[in-house]
Amino acid sequence: MALTPAGGLRLHTQWLPGHGGPRPDRPAVVFLHGLVMDNLSSFYCTLAGPVSRAGHDVLLYDQRGHGRSERPPSGYDRATSVADLIALLGSLGLDRHPVHLVGNSYGGALALHTALVRPELVASVVLIDAHLTGDWIEDMTDTLSVAALGLEHRRTGEQLAALGRRKEARLSAAADALLNHTTLIEDIAADTPFTCHDFARLRRPVLGVYGEHSELLPGAQELRLSAPDCELCVLPDVGHTVLNEATDGLCDALLGRLGAPAGAVAR
């Protein structure tokens, strides 16, 4: 693990090379996590290992304000988060060849936005129950605002620490710092959902993996109808928790889309 300079920030990164170490002739797979309580460990314990063992070079990182990355007071809008990603790819020399972007929840929105603004950097996009259309921005900001008030007034972190639940106390403190001491909620509220016109402009293949009971599925269906090259995989008996509750099916779909990298040897 390392802190890597990226556009004026230091982002916490983890590199998992495929078979034989990193190779310039195979695109890396870059994972993008969701908001607030999420960080790179969500992928480390689910998809990153199998993808690396299949021979792909894997990059995990904590987005600004999350995990062990630096937490500036502002800059949590979609465009700035994508600029962080682009700067990180440049810092690591991964901007010389297109990368596969795999985004969970809000991370999927960042992956899709990157494919729209810098398609030359992207080989493909995989969305894991990502927020795309509809009222999700309003719903998310309402949810985050309620959580922020609860953390501030109930002093959840202090209560957990007093009970000896140190890991949960640290997570609660980090969420409180992010929600109540940065512009994250305001920045998310100022963003706009994607439109069918945005989907039609995509020039990279997209795979969407969604839960059968996810409230975000209608947006994925709009994407499938409008994007030039989009496949939708709907996993049964699961909602927004695809990453943790349908990991095997998700992993199969992801590896099927990525295929075998150049020079890969099964491990």
Number of H helices, E strands in the chain: 12, 8
Our measurement of the distance from residue 88's CA atom to the centroid of its chain's CA atoms, rounded to an integer in Å, reads 14
CA–CA dist 220, 242 (Å, integer) = 14
- 56 pLDDT higher than 80: yes
Q: Identify any residues that bridge with 208 across adjacent strands, giving them in sequence order.
A: 127, 232
Q: What average pLDDT does the structure give for the chain? A: 91
Q: What are phi and psi of 9, to 5 degrees?
A: -115, 165
Name the residue with higher pLDDT: 172 or 29. Answer: 29
The closest alpha carbon to 87, from 118, 56, 45, belongs to: 118
**Token pair recorded at residue 68:** 């062990």
Q: How far apart are CA 208 and CA 217, in angstroms?
A: 9
Residue with the bigger pLDDT between 220 and 27: it is 220
pLDDT in tens, 58-95: 999 999 999 999 999 999 999 999 999 999 999 999 99
125, 111 contact by CB (below 8 A): yes
| pLDDT band at residue 104 using 50, 70 and 90 as cut-offs | very high
Rounded Cα gap, residues 257 and 5, in angstroms: 31
Mean pLDDT of 36-53: 94
Which one, of 200, 224, 218, lies nearest residue 131 by Cα?
Answer: 218
Using the predicted structure, report yes or no on whether residue 164 has a pLDDT greater than 90. Answer: no
| 84 membership: H or E segment, kind and range | helix 78-91
Query: Confidence class of residue 153 from pLDDT cuts 50, 70 and 90?
Result: confident
Count of residues making up the chain: 267
Confidence label for 166 from pLDDT (cuts 50, 70 and 90): low
Contacts of 135 (CB under 8 A, 6+ apart): none
Q: Which pLDDT belongs to residue 266? A: 44
> What token pair was written down for 152?
């501030």
Strands 2-6, 230-235: pairing kind: unpaired
Report field, pTM of the whole predicted structure over 0.85: yes
Percent of the chain beyond pLDDT 90?
80
Structure tokens that stand for 67 in this block: 């995990």
